[in-house]
């Protein structure tokens, strides 16, 4: 089996995963390097997916590969037994926190996936508070295990299955392009946060104080929507006043994606729990929960799991941190972000089909509006297809898949990024005019 078509057909026949990415991107990958992916016939694509935000330094970064090769000879799997590479990974991650937080935060390795970290956070907060309800946000995505899926408001992953964790309450998110309260952003007074404020402060609200509030600071799968700064400030204020731990899910926003190592740094808040996964393992699976030691109520054995000691992921993740420091990758994120907004924002006024260009750092979304003939989700799918034919991989997301999502490698060069943006802008113009 050596061709794109043969591999796609084989997968379609045997695997349910054929119903996700390959449904829209008929691609089989031969190999990849940097910001480029090569299909089985040698066609090259610019990669604005980065393995769903995992490959912060693109494919096969030499420093990351060297670190993995070196670690291969020492140890690959270590359960939760101490090793030098694990200790260094822990130390460096605590070091990435703002100085005021370093001493009071602790670390829990959660397993290979982001959803593992979400489950750990929910259980930790429930144990520490003795409460059972959890507040999450409309449009949020936290994963596909039972608890994480219950906290996910996007319907696609859970349409066919009844809610697997009771006691989840969804609050409106500050999604100003399509305000859930139908208010105008100029005069709304960030009213979307008022429901949480009253629920947490008014004993007559008929609402049981929750064990946690879980929030994405930029909703990723929900459509690359940065939370309003005032919204975040007030969520923090209300949760602190009510003694409710605030969990920020930085699984997608973390590791520099938004232009700072953690997105919460840009909001001037201090969360009680921070969840990381995706890019922190340099492309290998690992997830991490940083949490306030005041929540440290677990006994030995309270929360375990076999795959919490992926030494290769620790080594690869340390190489990522080194490259971030040495090459000032965060500066590149900010420069490329400005480049993207300069290239794409004019489409908002040029085309009635482009509702909003938004995002933070290199987590960027272009939300489309429908036309009388075609709905916005269909248009977005068509733009994605035209981009693919033009040699660019992009993702779609949002409430009805109407948002074109850009998650390029964080070290992408100005020239490659410009070429990708050009393919995208041309595809949007051609498809939606
Ligand atoms: N939280 C967020 C914000 C995510 O974006 C994702 C993955 N897209 C997850 C949790 C779940 O991570 P995983 O797919 O590794 O379980």
pLDDT in tens, 366-412: 999 988 889 999 999 999 999 999 999 999 999 889 999 999 999 99
Average of pLDDT values for 250-270?
Answer: 98
Q: What is the pLDDT of residue 8?
A: 86
Ligand 1 centre distance from Cα of residue 100 (Å): 28
Q: Complex ipTM above 0.85?
A: yes
Indicate the pTM of the whole model.
0.97
Q: How confident is the model at residue 97 (pLDDT cuts 50, 70, 90)?
A: very high
Determine the atom of ligand 1 nearest the C-alpha atom of 144.
Answer: 16
Domains in the chain: ranges and CATH: 4-60+328-432 (3.90.1150.10), 74-327 (3.40.640.10)
- Please report the atom of ligand 1 found closest to the CA of residue 278: 15
Pocket test for ligand 1, best of 51, 111, 117, 143 (most atoms within 8 A of CB): 143
State the closest ligand 1 atom to the C-alpha of 216, by its place in the atom list counted from 1: 3
- Residue 19: is its pLDDT beyond 70? no
Q: Around 216, how many Cα atoms within 13 Å sit in the side-chain half-sphere? A: 33
Q: What is the pLDDT of residue 18?
A: 58
Ligand 1 atom nearest residue 118's Cα: 10
Both tokens assigned to 398 = 């949002």
Ligand 1 touching residue 50 (CB < 6 A)? no
Confidence tier at 156 by pLDDT (50, 70, 90): confident
What are 35-50's pLDDT values in tens digits? 999 999 999 999 999 9
Q: Which residue has the tokens 């520490």?
A: 128
With the most atoms of ligand 1 within 8 angstroms of its CB, the residue from 110, 111, 114, 405 to mutate is 114
For residue 116, the ligand 1 atom closest to its alpha carbon is 16
Pocket test of ligand 1: the residue of 110, 117, 142, 285 to mutate, having most ligand atoms within 8 Å of its CB, is 142
**Does the Cβ of 108 fall within 6 Å of ligand 1?**
no
């Amino acid at each position: 089996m050596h061709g794109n078509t043969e591999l796609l057909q084989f997968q379609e026949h045997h695997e349910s995963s054929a119903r996700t990415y390959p449904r829209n991107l008929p691609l089989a990958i031969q190999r990849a390097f940097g910001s480029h992916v090569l299909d089985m016939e040698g066609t090259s694509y610019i990669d604005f997916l980065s393995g769903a935000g995992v490959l912060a330094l693109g494919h096969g970064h030499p420093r990351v590969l060297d670190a993995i090769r070196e670690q291969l000879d020492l140890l690959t799997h270590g359960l939760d037994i101490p090793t030098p590479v694990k200790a260094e990974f822990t130390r460096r991650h605590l070091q990435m926190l703002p100085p005021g937080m370093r001493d009071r935060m602790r670390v829990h390795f959660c397993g290979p996936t982001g959803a593992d970290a979400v489950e750990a956070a929910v259980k930790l907060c429930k144990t520490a508070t003795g409460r059972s309800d959890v507040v999450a946000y409309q449009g949020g995505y936290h994963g596909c295990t039972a608890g994480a899926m219950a906290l996910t408001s996007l319907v696609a992953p859970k349409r066919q299955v009844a809610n697997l964790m009771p006691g989840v309450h969804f609050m409106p998110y500050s999604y100003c392009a399509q305000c859930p309260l139908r208010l105008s952003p100029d005069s709304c007074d960030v009213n979307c946060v008022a429901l949480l404020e009253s629920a947490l402060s008014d004993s007559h609200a008929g609402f049981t104080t929750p064990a946690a509030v879980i929030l994405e600071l930029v909703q990723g799968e929900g459509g690359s929507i940065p939370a309003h700064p005032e919204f975040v400030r007030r969520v923090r204020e209300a949760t602190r006043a009510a003694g409710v731990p605030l969990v920020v899910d930085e699984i997608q926003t973390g590791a520099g994606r938004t232009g700072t190592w953690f997105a919460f740094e840009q909001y001037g808040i201090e969360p009680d729990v921070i969840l990381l996964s995706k890019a922190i393992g340099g492309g290998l699976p690992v997830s991490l929960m940083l949490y306030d030691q005041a929540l440290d109520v677990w006994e030995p054995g309270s929360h375990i799991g076999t795959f919490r000691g992926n030494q290769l992921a620790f080594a690869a993740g340390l190489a990522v941190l080194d490259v971030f420091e040495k090459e000032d990758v965060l500066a590149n994120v900010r420069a490329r972000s400005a480049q993207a907004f300069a290239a794409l924002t004019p489409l908002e006024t040029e085309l009635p089909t482009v509702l909003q260009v938004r995002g933070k750092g290199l987590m960027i979304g272009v939300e489309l509006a429908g036309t009388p003939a075609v709905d916005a989700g269909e248009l977005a799918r068509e733009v994605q297809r035209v981009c693919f034919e033009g040699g660019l991989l992009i993702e779609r997301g949002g409430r009805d898949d109407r948002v074109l999502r850009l998650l390029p490698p964080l070290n992408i060069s100005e020239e490659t990024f410009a070429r990708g943006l050009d393919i995208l802008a041309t595809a949007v113009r051609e498809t939606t005019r």
